[in-house]
């Protein structure tokens, strides 16, 4: 039976890394790739003797993963972010899928998203990511943010979901700081595509971003959290395009975590 390598990228994740590693103990190999954390993340990783610790300077998410994946001992990779967890039903499905020698080279996995102590059942409904894949057939796109996996083969879909909590243990300041970095990355991905920033980019697109999440995706049914996420989404679109405009003017933005 083929074996599985679990990869967990991390940086200053002392509140999450222990539970993330414990979620991956079913894997035959676990690799944590740390971006030189300044908290107790590395200390916690080292408390797990079966976990291989790698350290590598962080440029962006895709680059970090593409650097780490070739160092895995096994062809099947399961990739978990530190703020995600693997329920037992998903663990079983992952192991059963790999054991079945599937024709697919990668699999989408759904996420149940939590924010400010509430599951978002509407605004992020349908969220899924490719996290189980063959390293010999897959590679992350060369993008600063929201890079997906490019595959050389068929992609399947698992039935079980992972748990994803973007807020727990970190708080609002951390969430806002993350948005600041992500909008810079998103602007870098678009600066050469958007030739001129207009009111369409600064007004229409942010408004539609809010409308899409809060009305079309029924974020209003997710209570205050749905409203907050919809507002954050609109703000991130707005500030991303402001950054594109300023990049055109020669302004530089910090792009590292």
- CATH 3.90.550.10: which residues of the chain? 4-165
Top pLDDT among 143 and 207 is at 207
Residues 6 or more apart whose Cβ sits within 8 Å of residue 117: 167, 168
pLDDT score of 202 more than 80 = yes
CATH of domain 4-165: 3.90.550.10
Structure-block tokens of residue 16: 């999450």
CA-to-CA distance for 10 and 114, rounded, in angstroms? 19
Residues 6 or more apart whose Cβ sits within 8 Å of residue 136: 75
pLDDT score of 203 more than 90 = yes
Average pLDDT of the chain to the nearest whole number: 93
Among residues 91, 80, 86, which one has the least CA distance to residue 32?
80
3-class DSSP state of 193 = coil
Structure-block tokens of residue 110: 């759904």
Among residues 104, 110, 108, which one has the least CA distance to residue 152?
104
Q: What is the pLDDT of residue 52?
A: 97
What are 214-223's pLDDT values in tens digits? 999 999 999 9
pLDDT score of 20 more than 80 = yes
pLDDT score of 148 more than 90 = no
Q: What is the pLDDT of residue 141?
A: 86
Q: What is the pLDDT of residue 170?
A: 83
Q: What is the pLDDT of residue 257?
A: 65
pLDDT (average), residues 80-89: 96
Question: CA torsion sign, 193 to 196 to 202 to 207?
Answer: negative
Are the C-beta atoms of residues 36 and 57 closer than 8 Å to each other?
Answer: yes
């Amino acid at each position: 039976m083929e074996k599985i390598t679990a990869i967990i990228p991390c940086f200053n994740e002392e509140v999450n890394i222990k539970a993330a590693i414990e979620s991956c103990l079913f894997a035959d190999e676990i690799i944590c790739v740390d971006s030189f954390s300044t908290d107790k993340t590395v200390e916690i990783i080292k408390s797990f003797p079966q976990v291989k610790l790698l350290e590598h300077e962080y440029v962006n998410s895709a680059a970090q993963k593409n650097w780490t994946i070739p160092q895995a001992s096994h062809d099947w990779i399961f990739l978990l972010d530190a703020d995600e967890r693997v329920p037992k039903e998903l663990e079983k499905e992952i192991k059963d899928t790999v054991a079945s020698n599937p024709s697919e080279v990668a699999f989408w996995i759904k996420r149940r998203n939590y924010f400010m102590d509430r599951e978002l059942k509407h605004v992020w409904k349908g969220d899924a990511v490719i996290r189980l894949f063959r390293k010999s057939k897959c590679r992350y796109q060369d993008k600063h943010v929201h890079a997906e996996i490019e595959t050389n083969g068929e992609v399947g879909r698992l039935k079980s979901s992972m748990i994803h909590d973007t807020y727990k243990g970190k708080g609002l300041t951390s969430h806002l700081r993350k948005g600041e970095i992500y909008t810079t990355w998103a602007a870098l991905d678009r600066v050469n595509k958007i030739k001129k920033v207009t009111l369409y980019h600064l007004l229409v697109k942010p408004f539609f971003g809010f409308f899409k999440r809060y009305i079309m995706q029924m974020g209003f049914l997710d209570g205050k959290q749905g409203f907050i996420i919809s507002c954050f989404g609109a703000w991130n679109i707005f500030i991303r395009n402001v950054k594109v405009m300023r990049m055109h003017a020669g302004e530089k933005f910090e792009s590292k975590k």
